[in-house]
Amino acid sequence: MSMTSIEYYAKALLKVIDPSRVRIDYDTSNDTLILYIDGVAYRDIDPIKPFPLSNPNYVIFRLKSSGEDLCVISDIRMLDKDSIKCLEYVINKKYFIPLIEKIKEITYTGEFFICNVKTNRGDRSFKVRSRRNVFRIGNTIVIFDFDENLYLIENYEKLDRKSKEELMKII
């Protein structure tokens, strides 16, 4: 199947490359990624997920020193297992998205909401400015706190009854 000129231009512009050409290592002494493209090493790489919710496997690799986008991998699941492990270690530190498992209490102060929740990373308490900072996408709920940190409820239908009642205060 041949590519249209628009597809060719987009791939060239975005520097989309075949994951089989890429290997990723983690440099523990410098706490950075090393990206190998066709055996050539690029150090101090910043992985960027421009669509962390809608397309979490799409990653842009940027050189920290120059800010240049080095390449794009449209599906990181196609990388070798060791590369995925190194990449996910750095991405999980960078993109901290706690999953809300239980809502203990949501209170409204008159100015903002205070949410006390249990997440996959422990108990959390955070403030939400208004209902405009809470988004529903199907059964998924996305909440942005005062500091624009993201909290996720993957499927609110699976929450316990009390958690659902508390959630109704904010959506």
| Same domain for 76 and 136 | no
| Same domain for 74 and 11 | yes
Q: Give 27's strand partners.
A: 32
DSSP 19: G
pLDDT for res 113: 98
| Same domain for 62 and 111 | no
The three-class DSSP label of residue 148 is: coil
Number of domains in the chain: 2
Last residue of a domain, one of 94, 112, 133: 94
pLDDT for res 171: 92
Nearest by Cα to 27 from 40, 39, 44, 41: 44
Residue-wise pLDDT tens digits, 110-135: 999 999 999 998 999 999 999 999 99
Rounded-to-integer distance, Cα 110 and Cα 127, Å? 12
Asked whether the beta carbons of 71 and 22 are under 8 A apart, the reply is yes
Ranges under pLDDT 70 in the chain? 1-13
pLDDT for res 87: 96
Nearest by Cα to 151 from 135, 166, 139: 135
Q: At 120, phi and psi to the nearest 5?
A: -70, -5
| Same domain for 140 and 59 | no
Rounded-to-integer distance, Cα 34 and Cα 46, Å? 10
pLDDT for res 54: 80
pLDDT for res 93: 82
Last residue of a domain, one of 41, 67, 94: 94
pLDDT for res 41: 97
Q: Which domain holds residue 112?
A: 100-167
| Same domain for 85 and 23 | yes
pLDDT for res 1: 46
Last residue of a domain, one of 94, 127, 147: 94
Asked whether the beta carbons of 167 and 153 are under 8 A apart, the reply is yes
pLDDT for res 13: 61
pLDDT for res 4: 54
The three-class DSSP label of residue 121 is: coil
| Same domain for 83 and 113 | no
